[in-house]
Protein backbone atom coordinates (compact mmCIF):
# COMPACT_ATOMS: atom_id res chain seq x y z
CA UNK A 1 0.00 0.00 0.00
CA UNK A 2 1.33 3.48 -0.79
CA UNK A 3 2.05 5.83 2.14
CA UNK A 4 -0.74 8.42 2.19
CA UNK A 5 -1.83 11.12 4.64
CA UNK A 6 -5.21 9.42 5.10
CA UNK A 7 -7.23 12.53 4.17
CA UNK A 8 -10.97 12.15 3.70
CA UNK A 9 -12.24 12.70 0.16
CA UNK A 10 -13.72 16.10 1.09
CA UNK A 11 -10.51 17.16 2.86
CA UNK A 12 -8.49 16.16 -0.18
CA UNK A 13 -10.77 18.10 -2.52
CA UNK A 14 -10.85 21.22 -0.34
CA UNK A 15 -7.17 21.41 0.63
CA UNK A 16 -5.33 20.66 -2.60
CA UNK A 17 -3.81 24.12 -2.93
CA UNK A 18 -1.37 25.75 -5.32
CA UNK A 19 1.74 25.11 -3.20
CA UNK A 20 4.76 27.30 -3.88
CA UNK A 21 6.38 28.71 -0.74
CA UNK A 22 5.80 25.50 1.18
CA UNK A 23 7.49 23.20 -1.33
CA UNK A 24 10.36 21.40 0.42
CA UNK A 25 13.20 22.05 -2.01
CA UNK A 26 15.65 19.90 -0.07
CA UNK A 27 13.76 16.61 0.13
CA UNK A 28 14.09 14.33 -2.87
CA UNK A 29 10.93 13.00 -4.50
CA UNK A 30 11.15 9.30 -5.41
CA UNK A 31 10.24 8.59 -9.01
CA UNK A 32 8.12 5.65 -7.81
CA UNK A 33 5.77 8.01 -5.95
CA UNK A 34 5.35 10.22 -9.03
CA UNK A 35 4.72 7.06 -11.00
CA UNK A 36 1.88 6.10 -8.63
CA UNK A 37 0.34 9.55 -9.14
CA UNK A 38 0.56 9.24 -12.94
CA UNK A 39 -0.90 5.75 -12.72
CA UNK A 40 -3.93 7.11 -10.81
CA UNK A 41 -4.22 10.06 -13.19
CA UNK A 42 -4.66 7.61 -16.06
CA UNK A 43 -8.01 6.59 -14.56
CA UNK A 44 -9.43 9.98 -15.67
CA UNK A 45 -11.85 10.10 -18.60
CA UNK A 46 -10.96 11.23 -22.11
CA UNK A 47 -13.02 11.90 -25.23
CA UNK A 48 -13.84 8.63 -27.03
CA UNK A 49 -11.58 6.98 -24.42
CA UNK A 50 -8.66 8.06 -26.61
CA UNK A 51 -6.15 8.52 -23.73
CA UNK A 52 -4.39 11.24 -25.73
CA UNK A 53 -2.08 12.29 -22.89
CA UNK A 54 1.45 11.89 -21.61
CA UNK A 55 3.27 13.21 -18.54
CA UNK A 56 6.87 14.26 -19.10
CA UNK A 57 8.57 13.94 -15.71
CA UNK A 58 11.74 15.99 -15.37
CA UNK A 59 14.28 15.22 -12.66
CA UNK A 60 17.49 16.12 -14.55
CA UNK A 61 18.88 19.29 -12.89
CA UNK A 62 20.25 20.66 -16.16
CA UNK A 63 16.84 20.38 -17.83
CA UNK A 64 15.08 21.79 -14.77
CA UNK A 65 17.38 24.81 -14.87
CA UNK A 66 16.76 25.30 -18.60
CA UNK A 67 12.99 25.15 -18.05
CA UNK A 68 13.19 27.49 -15.05
CA UNK A 69 15.04 30.07 -17.12
CA UNK A 70 12.32 29.96 -19.78
CA UNK A 71 9.67 30.18 -17.06
CA UNK A 72 11.34 33.24 -15.53
CA UNK A 73 11.37 34.95 -18.93
CA UNK A 74 7.59 34.39 -19.11
CA UNK A 75 7.05 35.54 -15.52
CA UNK A 76 8.79 38.85 -16.34
CA UNK A 77 6.15 39.42 -19.04
CA UNK A 78 3.25 38.18 -16.90
CA UNK A 79 3.97 40.53 -13.99
CA UNK A 80 3.02 43.53 -16.18
CA UNK A 81 -0.05 41.97 -17.83
CA UNK A 82 -3.51 43.30 -16.84
CA UNK A 83 -4.54 39.85 -15.61
CA UNK A 84 -1.54 39.32 -13.33
CA UNK A 85 -2.82 38.09 -9.96
CA UNK A 86 -2.10 41.33 -8.10
CA UNK A 87 -4.14 43.36 -10.62
CA UNK A 88 -7.30 41.29 -10.16
CA UNK A 89 -9.67 42.97 -7.75
CA UNK A 90 -12.21 41.02 -5.73
CA UNK A 91 -15.27 42.01 -3.75
CA UNK A 92 -13.57 42.77 -0.45
CA UNK A 93 -10.29 43.85 1.11
CA UNK A 94 -9.46 40.39 2.48
CA UNK A 95 -9.67 38.81 -0.95
CA UNK A 96 -7.76 41.70 -2.55
CA UNK A 97 -5.00 41.09 0.01
CA UNK A 98 -5.06 37.39 -0.89
CA UNK A 99 -4.42 38.35 -4.54
CA UNK A 100 -1.31 40.26 -3.46
CA UNK A 101 -0.13 37.15 -1.59
CA UNK A 102 -0.79 34.99 -4.66
CA UNK A 103 1.43 37.28 -6.73
CA UNK A 104 4.25 37.19 -4.16
CA UNK A 105 3.97 33.41 -4.14
CA UNK A 106 4.01 33.22 -7.97
CA UNK A 107 7.19 35.30 -7.91
CA UNK A 108 8.75 33.01 -5.29
CA UNK A 109 8.07 29.98 -7.46
CA UNK A 110 9.58 31.68 -10.51
CA UNK A 111 12.75 32.41 -8.54
CA UNK A 112 13.05 28.87 -7.16
CA UNK A 113 11.63 26.69 -9.93
CA UNK A 114 15.00 25.12 -10.79
CA UNK A 115 15.30 23.94 -7.16
CA UNK A 116 12.03 22.00 -7.22
CA UNK A 117 13.07 18.31 -7.28
CA UNK A 118 10.59 17.18 -9.91
CA UNK A 119 8.79 19.04 -12.70
CA UNK A 120 5.92 17.41 -14.56
CA UNK A 121 4.76 18.60 -17.96
CA UNK A 122 1.38 17.11 -18.88
CA UNK A 123 0.74 16.97 -22.62
CA UNK A 124 -2.05 16.13 -25.03
CA UNK A 125 -1.86 15.17 -28.68
CA UNK A 126 -2.88 18.08 -30.95
CA UNK A 127 -6.39 17.57 -32.32
CA UNK A 128 -7.31 18.96 -35.72
CA UNK A 129 -10.35 21.16 -34.97
CA UNK A 130 -11.74 20.86 -38.52
CA UNK A 131 -15.16 22.57 -38.79
CA UNK A 132 -16.01 21.72 -35.15
CA UNK A 133 -13.64 24.05 -33.29
CA UNK A 134 -15.85 24.56 -30.20
CA UNK A 135 -16.30 20.85 -29.74
CA UNK A 136 -12.76 19.81 -30.57
CA UNK A 137 -10.97 22.37 -28.39
CA UNK A 138 -13.18 21.58 -25.39
CA UNK A 139 -12.75 17.85 -26.01
CA UNK A 140 -8.99 18.08 -26.45
CA UNK A 141 -8.33 20.03 -23.24
CA UNK A 142 -11.08 18.10 -21.47
CA UNK A 143 -9.24 14.92 -22.39
CA UNK A 144 -6.19 15.80 -20.34
CA UNK A 145 -7.12 18.33 -17.64
CA UNK A 146 -9.13 15.88 -15.50
CA UNK A 147 -6.10 13.57 -15.53
CA UNK A 148 -3.79 16.41 -14.51
CA UNK A 149 -6.02 17.35 -11.59
CA UNK A 150 -6.17 13.68 -10.55
CA UNK A 151 -2.38 13.76 -10.54
CA UNK A 152 -2.44 16.79 -8.23
CA UNK A 153 -4.93 15.09 -5.88
CA UNK A 154 -2.93 11.87 -5.81
CA UNK A 155 0.19 13.90 -5.06
CA UNK A 156 -1.49 15.80 -2.20
CA UNK A 157 -2.75 12.52 -0.81
CA UNK A 158 0.90 11.36 -0.62
CA UNK A 159 2.20 14.54 1.06
CA UNK A 160 3.40 16.12 -2.18
CA UNK A 161 2.55 19.67 -3.18
CA UNK A 162 1.91 20.83 -6.72
CA UNK A 163 0.97 24.13 -8.36
CA UNK A 164 -0.78 24.28 -11.70
CA UNK A 165 1.26 26.63 -13.88
CA UNK A 166 1.01 27.68 -17.50
CA UNK A 167 3.32 30.70 -17.89
CA UNK A 168 6.01 28.79 -19.76
CA UNK A 169 3.52 28.24 -22.60
CA UNK A 170 4.42 31.74 -23.79
CA UNK A 171 7.60 29.96 -24.89
CA UNK A 172 6.20 26.45 -25.34
CA UNK A 173 8.48 25.66 -28.29
CA UNK A 174 11.59 26.37 -26.21
CA UNK A 175 10.51 23.94 -23.48
CA UNK A 176 9.55 21.44 -26.19
CA UNK A 177 13.13 21.62 -27.45
CA UNK A 178 14.56 21.00 -23.97
CA UNK A 179 12.33 17.93 -23.57
CA UNK A 180 12.32 16.66 -27.19
CA UNK A 181 8.54 17.14 -27.43
CA UNK A 182 7.33 17.36 -31.07
CA UNK A 183 5.75 20.79 -30.78
CA UNK A 184 3.21 20.49 -33.62
CA UNK A 185 1.94 17.04 -32.73
CA UNK A 186 1.92 17.36 -28.94
CA UNK A 187 0.69 20.32 -26.87
CA UNK A 188 1.89 21.01 -23.37
CA UNK A 189 -0.97 22.00 -21.10
CA UNK A 190 0.95 23.07 -18.04
CA UNK A 191 3.96 22.62 -15.83
CA UNK A 192 3.63 21.20 -12.33
CA UNK A 193 6.36 21.66 -9.74
CA UNK A 194 6.26 18.60 -7.48
CA UNK A 195 7.86 18.43 -4.03
CA UNK A 196 7.03 17.28 -0.53
CA UNK A 197 5.27 20.02 1.39
CA UNK A 198 6.61 21.65 4.53
CA UNK A 199 3.86 20.61 6.94
CA UNK A 200 0.83 18.62 5.90
CA UNK A 201 -2.01 20.91 6.99
CA UNK A 202 -3.60 23.11 4.30
CA UNK A 203 -6.80 25.11 4.59
CA UNK A 204 -9.73 25.47 2.22
CA UNK A 205 -9.29 28.61 0.06
CA UNK A 206 -11.36 31.79 0.20
CA UNK A 207 -13.68 31.57 -2.79
CA UNK A 208 -16.91 33.21 -3.82
CA UNK A 209 -19.99 31.49 -2.41
CA UNK A 210 -21.62 28.55 -4.09
CA UNK A 211 -24.65 30.82 -4.69
CA UNK A 212 -22.51 32.87 -7.03
CA UNK A 213 -21.51 29.91 -9.13
CA UNK A 214 -24.64 27.76 -9.07
CA UNK A 215 -27.15 28.97 -11.67
CA UNK A 216 -30.39 27.03 -11.37
CA UNK A 217 -32.28 26.14 -14.57
CA UNK A 218 -30.40 28.66 -16.72
CA UNK A 219 -27.65 31.27 -16.85
CA UNK A 220 -28.05 34.27 -14.53
CA UNK A 221 -26.27 37.29 -16.10
CA UNK A 222 -26.17 39.12 -12.74
CA UNK A 223 -23.71 36.45 -11.62
CA UNK A 224 -21.69 36.13 -14.82
CA UNK A 225 -18.32 34.38 -14.39
CA UNK A 226 -15.23 36.64 -14.13
CA UNK A 227 -13.12 37.10 -17.24
CA UNK A 228 -9.50 38.28 -17.35
CA UNK A 229 -9.17 42.05 -17.96
CA UNK A 230 -7.74 42.80 -21.42
C1 LIG B 1 -5.10 27.42 -15.79
C2 LIG B 1 -4.25 27.84 -14.63
C3 LIG B 1 -3.06 28.48 -14.87
C4 LIG B 1 -2.22 28.84 -13.83
N5 LIG B 1 -0.99 29.37 -14.08
C6 LIG B 1 -0.14 29.62 -13.07
C7 LIG B 1 1.21 29.99 -13.33
O8 LIG B 1 1.64 30.07 -14.48
N9 LIG B 1 2.02 30.21 -12.28
C10 LIG B 1 1.62 30.07 -10.99
O11 LIG B 1 2.43 30.26 -10.06
N12 LIG B 1 0.35 29.69 -10.71
C13 LIG B 1 -0.52 29.46 -11.72
N14 LIG B 1 -1.79 29.01 -11.45
C15 LIG B 1 -2.20 28.78 -10.06
C16 LIG B 1 -3.24 29.79 -9.58
O17 LIG B 1 -2.62 31.01 -9.28
C18 LIG B 1 -3.92 29.18 -8.36
O19 LIG B 1 -4.61 28.05 -8.80
C20 LIG B 1 -4.90 30.11 -7.71
O21 LIG B 1 -4.21 31.21 -7.18
C22 LIG B 1 -5.68 29.42 -6.61
O23 LIG B 1 -4.79 28.88 -5.69
P24 LIG B 1 -5.35 28.12 -4.40
O25 LIG B 1 -6.13 26.95 -4.88
O26 LIG B 1 -4.15 27.72 -3.60
O27 LIG B 1 -6.25 29.10 -3.68
C28 LIG B 1 -2.63 28.62 -12.49
C29 LIG B 1 -3.83 27.95 -12.24
C30 LIG B 1 -4.62 27.54 -13.29
C31 LIG B 1 -5.88 26.78 -13.00
Query: pLDDT-derived band of residue 9, with 50, 70 and 90 as boundaries?
Result: very high
Rounded to 5 degrees, what are φ and ψ at 123? -135, 160
Q: From 18, 88, 152, give the residue whose CB has the most ligand 1 atoms within 8 Å, as the site to mutate.
A: 18
Confidence of residue 91 (pLDDT cuts 50, 70, 90): confident
Are 126 and 185 in contact by the 8 Å Cβ rule? The answer is yes
Give the separation between CA 64 and CA 102, rounded to whole angstroms: 23
**Residue 2 pLDDT greater than 80, yes or no:** no
Question: What is the CB < 6 Å shell around ligand 1?
Answer: 17-18, 102, 106, 109, 163-167, 205
Question: What integer pLDDT is reported at residue 115 of this predicted model?
Answer: 98
pLDDT at 1 over 80: no
Q: Given ligand 1 and candidates 21, 77, 163, 225, which is best to mutate, with the most ligand atoms within 8 Å of its CB?
A: 163
Give the per-residue pLDDT at 90.
Answer: 86
| pLDDT tens column, 44-86 | 999 999 999 999 999 999 999 999 999 999 999 999 999 999 9
Q: What is the DSSP string of 34-61?
A: HHHHHHHHTTS--GGG---EEEEEE--H
Phi, psi of 161 (to 5 degrees): -100, 150
Q: Are the CB atoms for 20 and 105 separated by under 8 Å?
A: yes
The 10s digit of each residue's pLDDT in 119-171 is 999 999 999 999 999 999 999 999 999 999 999 999 999 999 999 999 999 99
- The backbone region for 64, taken as left when phi is positive above 0, alpha when psi lies in -120 to 50, beta otherwise, is alpha
Asked if 54 contacts 186 with a C-beta cutoff of 8 angstroms, the reply is: yes
| CA of residue 34 to ligand 1 center, whole Å | 20
**Domain 9-62+117-199: which CATH class?**
alpha beta
Amino acid sequence: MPATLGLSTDELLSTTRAVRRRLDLDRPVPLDVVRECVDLALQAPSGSNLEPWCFVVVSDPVKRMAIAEIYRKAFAIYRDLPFAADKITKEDAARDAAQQRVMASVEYLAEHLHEVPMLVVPCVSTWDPGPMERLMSAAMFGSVIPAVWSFCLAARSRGLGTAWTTLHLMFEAEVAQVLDIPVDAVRQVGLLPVAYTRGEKFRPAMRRSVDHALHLDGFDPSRAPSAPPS
